[in-house]
Amino acid sequence: MELVQQLVNGISLGSIYALIALGYTMVYGIVKLINFAHGDVFMIGSFIGFYSITILGLGFFPSLILSMAVCAILGVLIERIAYKPLRNATRIAALITAIGVSLFIEYGMVYLRGAQPVAYPGNSLPSKTIDIFGIGINTQSLFILGISVALMILLQFIVHKTKIGKAMRAVSYDTDAAQLMGINVNNTISATFAIGSALAGAAGVIFGIYYIKIEPLMGVIPGLKAFIAAVLGGIGIIPGAMVGGLLLGIIESIVSAAGFSLWRDAVAFIVLILILIFRPSGLFGKNTKEKV
């Protein structure tokens, strides 16, 4: 029974990692960039949700939508200001810029509101334990899982059934050919950043509800773990990011349940090392040769 409860907790946590990982994997699939500022967009989303609930007096779902909208705009601004001028620069220049943007957002937030943590209101989502076949499961975990799955299904619909989704897949496959076919590559890349950042904003609000405490440097560890989830599933592959996030969440919960809660962060990096040694392309990836 304890194992089933931990699996539910792990899947809820993993769905948060999956939502963040989707942003990493979408951006990498299109522009081959690891956007290390993505974890800080997640942090901004969490604070937007917090202020929407506490100051604006909005409910959970309006706060979630507002947070996604603000983070989508922030993602586009980051892409246009920081990454677009470096589109043809070396990989290392883009990587250093991503780290710089990450630090700018983190310490800009510290400057604006201070470094002290705040607590999310506990009544944002109904929280009670329900009994399913003798297993006590918190309704918040079920809500979080349901919202995350709904957003992942929506993303799959956008990518496979809409015009912008087809453009994203075309640009990911061959940028030059897509441009020759009349696709606006710049707008497609901006749309990718917008969608990925919106999902990170949603993950930020869900994370605040789940973990209660939020602070300006909270995006670092979940951001790194989401990156590990993206690598685990196969960076650049959307279903891989989903599966990688869920797997990582389940592994962490099982480690905590076994009494090694102090090791839960270390385990994520052990998973990264193992996947890079034994299957560097990830679970869903294929080995490809690259000219250097």
Q: Half-sphere exposure of 197 toward its Cβ, with a 13 Å CA cutoff?
A: 25
Residue 28 falls within a domain, yes or no? yes
- pLDDT for 286: 67
Distances (CA, A) of 46 to 115, 129, 149, 159, 243: 15, 25, 19, 25, 23
For the segment 189-206, the average pLDDT, to the nearest whole number, is: 92
Q: What is the span of the domain harbouring residue 105?
A: 14-115+130-218
Average pLDDT, the chain: 86
Instruction: For residue 90, give the H/E element and its range.
Output: none
Residue 153 falls within a domain, yes or no? yes
**Long-range CB pairs of 55-64, under 8 A, 24+ apart, other chains included:** 59/124, 60/124, 60/125, 60/205, 60/209, 63/124, 63/205, 64/147, 64/202, 64/205, 64/206
Residue 231 falls within a domain, yes or no? no
pLDDT at 291 over 60: no
- pLDDT for 126: 65
Reported confidence tier of residue 201, pLDDT bands at 50, 70, 90:
very high
For the segment 108-136, the average pLDDT, to the nearest whole number, is: 78
pLDDT at 122 over 90: no
Residue 239 falls within a domain, yes or no? no
Tokens, residue 101: 């943007």
pLDDT tens track for 169-179: 898 888 888 88
Strand-pairing partners, residue 213, are: 119
- pLDDT for 180: 87
- pLDDT for 289: 57
DSSP 284: S
Looking at the 3D structure of the chain, how many domains does it have?
1
pLDDT tens track for 6-20: 788 888 888 889 989
Distances (CA, A) of 71 to 41, 156, 172: 6, 20, 23
pLDDT tens track for 127-158: 677 776 666 677 777 888 888 888 888 988 99
Query: In this predicted model, which residue has the larger pLDDT, 135 or 267?
Result: 267
Strand-pairing partners, residue 118, are: 214
For the segment 41-67, the average pLDDT, to the nearest whole number, is: 90
pLDDT at 292 over 60: no
For the segment 79-95, the average pLDDT, to the nearest whole number, is: 87
Please state, as a whole number, how many other Cβ atoms lie within 10 Å of the Cβ of residue 137: 17
CA 237, distance to chain mean position in Å, is 14
pLDDT at 205 over 70: yes
- pLDDT for 70: 95
Q: Are 223 and 39 in contact (CB under 8 A)?
A: yes
For the segment 31-57, the average pLDDT, to the nearest whole number, is: 89
Place of tokens 């890079």: 276
- Give the amino acid at 131: D
pTM reported for the whole predicted model: 0.89
Distances (CA, A) of 185 to 34, 44, 188, 208: 18, 27, 5, 35
pLDDT at 186 over 60: yes
- pLDDT for 2: 67
Reported confidence tier of residue 32, pLDDT bands at 50, 70, 90:
confident
Nearest to 230 by CA among 22, 41, 15: 22
Residue 145 falls within a domain, yes or no? yes
- pLDDT for 287: 59
Residue 46 falls within a domain, yes or no? yes
Residue 282 falls within a domain, yes or no? no
